[in-house]
């Protein structure tokens, strides 16, 4: 643990306790210290073997990103036959170096991602999907979030189940943070519930606006102090602990947002979200999973210019975010995973767009990845009966690789059964 990090934790812990009365019962003092000191608290909240200094950042491309115009098979004539208007021209596509990328390229707006690829920081998994694909945005999103195609997307989220299977005791409130007006299904479990906010300035604890019992607990703790006679197992104790934890949690997150970033982020929604994530990582929060979403990928008409802008905004935001992490010295702690609920149809439609499809690529980014392109590009001629790509990598295999090799849990416990790993990590870097 480096000195700068421990000093920052000490200062955060001290500041949080300034507002707590010296007359707080011992169990409430422990609660506040636990929320504010990630190292002390983590030791009691997680099972042995879970690498709690590691972070997963999920970027969802909502609406169904067109995988064929993201990782472009420019060497396949069928691509241009199927997409005479919206196919990316060969001389504009960003071609991969080496034999692994023969005939493949990235969209020209993905230059920041190509830089990561050339630096050995980007792993691309081809043809990702699941059996009997559902082309409804809502259903397919639920399936990806629950990792349960068989149930049609019913149940708790896969990230929530990860925490359910790794947390012992009372979990820290900030283990999972989602940037947005509501947290996605993927982040909900039985034991751990996510924190969600869209604007850090609005993420504050206002006890007076809540249930009268909670409001009273807030008043008692924050303004008057309490006697040491409260029964630790009582309802009053639970309410007081909830109020104090929420107050300290809110203060910590908003304080993190005030820290300056080391790079200039674009003024897009995704960039703003990732900027907040970078600030929280820099501040040393105990959060292990951050979830962000970028919408707009349902490109049924006039796709060319619109998808160009989406690719640019996505790549610039992720590129700046990774550079920020590197400047902080946190790049080795963070794994970034991107996905979309489905890809698009191979053939363009009459409106120069694409309709809902199936398989698409996933990106995994970080110092720990085994760089390159994993899996063959799906065939453009051997399609399913709807004219869609046939997937060859189950998305749960990607999840399993991340859960087992990066997050230090049992993917079988989280996903319900074993899935073959995709070789996206360097063994020497993930242990």
Indicate the Cα dihedral angle 87, 89, 90, 95, nearest 10°.
-80
DSSP-derived 3-state class of residue 262? coil
For tokens 């790993």, name the residue: 421
Q: Which two tokens stand for residue 366?
A: 């970080």
DSSP-derived 3-state class of residue 296? coil
Sequence-distant (≥ 6) Cβ neighbours of residue 330 within 8 angstroms: 55, 281, 282
CB environment 156-179: b (16+ within 10 A), e (fewer): bbbbbbbbbbbbeeebbbbbbbbb
* Contact status, residue 13 vs residue 36, Cβ threshold 8 Å: yes
182-224 pLDDT per residue, tens? 899 999 998 888 888 888 666 654 444 445 554 555 555 544 4
For tokens 């812990």, name the residue: 13
β-strand partners of 178: 196, 291
Quick one: pLDDT at residue 237? 58
Interatomic CA distance for residues 298 and 341, integer angstroms: 11
Quick one: pLDDT at residue 50? 72
CATH architecture for residues 13-20+53-205+247-430: 3-Layer(aba) Sandwich (3.40)
Q: Helical H runs in 147-231? A: 158-164, 212-219
223-269 pLDDT per residue, tens? 444 444 556 666 655 555 555 555 556 677 878 888 788 999 999 99
Max CA pair span of the chain: 78
DSSP string, 169-185: SSPPTTSEEEESSS--G
Residue spans per domain, the chain = 13-20+53-205+247-430
DSSP string, 357-369: ---EEEEEESTTB
**Closest by alpha carbon to 35, among 152, 205, 149?**
205
What one-character DSSP code corresponds to residue 99? Answer: G
Strand 360-365 to 334-339 pairing: antiparallel
Interatomic CA distance for residues 68 and 346, integer angstroms: 8
**Closest by alpha carbon to 61, among 265, 249, 311, 392?**
311
If residue 316 lies in a helix (H) or strand (E), which one and from where to where? Answer: helix 303-328
Q: Which residues of the chain fall below pLDDT 70?
A: 1-49, 99-100, 169-173, 200-250
């Amino acid at each position: 643990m480096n000195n700068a990090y421990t000093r920052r934790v000490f200062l955060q812990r001290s500041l949080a306790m300034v507002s707590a009365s010296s007359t707080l019962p011992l169990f409430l003092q422990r609660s506040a210290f636990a929320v504010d000191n990630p190292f002390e608290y983590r030791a009691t909240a997680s099972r042995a073997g879970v690498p709690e200094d590691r972070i997963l950042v999920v970027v969802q491309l909502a609406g169904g990103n067109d995988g064929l115009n993201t990782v472009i098979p420019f060497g396949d004539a069928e691509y241009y036959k199927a997409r005479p208007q919206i196919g990316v021209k060969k001389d504009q596509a960003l071609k991969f170096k080496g034999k692994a990328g023969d005939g493949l390229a990235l969209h020209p707006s993905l230059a920041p991602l190509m830089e990561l690829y050339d630096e050995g920081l980007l792993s691309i998994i081809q043809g990702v999907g699941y059996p009997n694909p559902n082309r409804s945005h809502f259903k397919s999103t639920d399936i990806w979030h629950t990792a349960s195609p068989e149930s049609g997307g019913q149940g708790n989220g896969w990230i929530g189940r990860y925490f359910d299977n790794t947390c012992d005791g009372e979990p820290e409130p900030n283990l999972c943070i989602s940037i947005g007006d509501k947290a996605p299904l993927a982040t909900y479990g039985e034991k751990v519930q996510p924190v969600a906010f869209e604007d850090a300035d609005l993420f504050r604890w206002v006890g007076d606006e809540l249930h009268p019992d909670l409001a009273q607990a807030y008043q008692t703790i924050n303004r008057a102090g309490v006697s040491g006679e409260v029964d630790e197992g009582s309802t009053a104790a639970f309410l007081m602990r909830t109020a104090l934890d929420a107050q300290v949690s809110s203060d910590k997150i908003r304080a993190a947002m005030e820290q300056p970033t080391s790079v200039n982020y674009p003024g897009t929604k995704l960039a703003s979200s990732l900027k907040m994530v970078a600030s929280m990582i820099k501040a040393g929060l105990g959060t292990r999973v951050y979830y962000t979403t970028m919408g707009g990928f349902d490109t049924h008409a006039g796709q060319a210019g619109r998808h160009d802008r989406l690719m640019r905004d996505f790549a610039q935001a992720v590129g700046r975010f990774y550079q920020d992490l590197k400047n902080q010295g946190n790049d080795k702690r963070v794994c970034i995973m991107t996905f979309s609920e489905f890809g698009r149809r191979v053939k363009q439609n009459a409106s120069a767009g694409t309709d809902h499809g199936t398989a698409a690529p996933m990106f995994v980014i970080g110092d720990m990845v085994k760089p390159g392109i994993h899996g063959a590009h799906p065939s453009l001629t051997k399609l399913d009966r709807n004219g869609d790509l046939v997937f060859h990598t189950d998305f749960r295999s990607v999840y399993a690789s991340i859960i087992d090799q990066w997050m230090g849990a049992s993917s079988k416990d989280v996903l319900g059964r074993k899935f073959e790993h995709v070789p996206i990590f360097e063994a020497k870097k993930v242990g």
